[in-house]
Amino acid sequence: MSKLEKFLRSRFAAALFAVLVGFVISAVVLAVAGYDPIASFAALFNGSFGKPKYISNVIIKATPILLTGVSVAFAFKTGLFNIGAEGQYILGTTLATMVGVTLNLPMPFQLPLVLLAGIVGGAALGAFVGWLKAKFGIHEVITSIMCNWIAFYFCNFIVNTKTFHKPDSSSALPVNPSSYTTILGTWKKSEAGKEFLKGIPWLREILLKTDINAGFAVAILVAVIIGFVLTRTKLGYELRAVGFNRDAARFSGIPVERNIVLSMLIAGAISGLAGALTITGIAPHTISLLAAMESYGFNGMSVAFIAGCSPIGCIPASIMFSALIYGGMSVQQSLGAPSDIINIMIGTIVFCTALPGITPVLADLVHKKREERDDARTTKNGTPLPEKEA
């Protein structure tokens, strides 16, 4: 098998094909609508990576998408469809806010408790869905969707309570500063910090003009750990075995029901962590009344499928997805092109990732052409090819 054939049969080739098709179709739509595709894509990339603060904002926005993507990918690898990542994320933000407002401890104690609150909230919602699946056979898609709305209205309920409501606003009180995960949050606003940053314009732009925080580093660590657990541990083997064939797993002694609940619990915990990191890392460090879903969980599903449900693959996929969303605003501001073009591109990319058989077909065509060429050379020379060339 040639290197080209191996590449075409890889997950990366399928994802790259989907991205290219997304750009091509978006270019056609832009051209038909009367906009210059080249200028539009240039504005897209410039709006995503043209300045240090743009890159910082892309990374900040990628953090919750990466974590919810890993959540969906993990569940999918174990045979479950965690469409409830959105609700788990919302519940994570809600409980993190409640704990962050109620407690005001030193940072080494406060921050872990706030993050733990978000993790527990997401894990509880995920475990509940898993329990309903394991105990009563209720499909997780149905219960996850219902739990999304439960989390949605619970968030709005908490915002309106006397304990947490911020007067004259539509949001809750912000968490105490000891809950923050922002990088150099206090120092960069001090006189000494500002004086130091004057000599480093790019760092000044990142630290003072964005909510740069430690969330993305945590998200990468979680993705690596989940990838390791799935492929290198006994727990991961059992979870994947249950997802692949529950009857065979049960026959081999693996506790199927327990692993279903555990899988959804872990997936929910990851989404809950995404919500907690949003509250601790991004201003205004609180929750607000929701008029619609925030879509972090649904965007995470797109990221998971673009990455082929690989936790590690979710890292570059989340950055690309975040860049498209963030840079898409520049397309509208610079050229007047509707930002819906970006949604068309994203939809096309996700659609193409659902067609994983295309690149293997191309690999088969390459293999067939190679065989025909080798046969033609053999016939012409009258002797068979050496083994290493066949």
* CATH at residue 139: 1.10.3470
Q: Is residue 384 part of a domain?
A: no
Q: Which of 253, 231, 300 is nearest to 78 (CA)?
A: 231
Q: Is residue 25 part of a domain?
A: no
Q: Is residue 2 part of a domain?
A: no
Give, for all 390 residues of the chain, the pLDDT tens digit: 667 667 666 777 777 777 888 888 888 888 888 888 888 888 888 888 989 999 999 999 999 999 999 999 999 999 999 999 999 999 999 999 999 999 999 999 999 999 999 999 999 999 999 999 999 999 999 999 999 999 999 999 999 999 999 999 999 999 999 999 999 888 888 888 888 888 888 888 898 889 999 999 999 999 999 999 999 999 999 999 999 999 999 998 999 999 999 999 999 999 999 999 999 999 999 999 999 898 899 999 989 988 889 999 999 999 998 998 888 888 777 777 777 777 787 787 777 766 655 656 666 676 677 767 766 776 666 555 555 444
Count of domains observed in the chain: 1
Q: Which of 46, 63, 343 is nearest to 210 (CA)?
A: 63
Buried b (16+ CB within 10 A) or exposed e, 290-328: beebbebbbbbbbbbbbbbbbbbbbbbbbbbbbbbbbbb
How far is it, in rounded angstroms, from Cα 128 to Cα 124?
6
Q: Is residue 132 part of a domain?
A: yes
Q: Is residue 125 part of a domain?
A: yes
**319: which 2 tokens?**
């950055």
Q: Is residue 336 part of a domain?
A: no
Helices (H), the chain: 3-8, 11-32, 37-49, 52-77, 85-102, 107-136, 140-160, 191-197, 201-209, 215-232, 234-244, 246-251, 256-281, 296-306, 314-335, 340-353, 358-381
Q: Residue 269 belongs to what domain range? A: 54-322
CB atoms within 10 A of CB 67: 37
Q: Is residue 76 part of a domain?
A: yes
The amino acid that residue 321 corresponds to is: F
Q: Is residue 138 part of a domain?
A: yes
- Residues 6+ away with beta carbon under 8 Å from 12: none
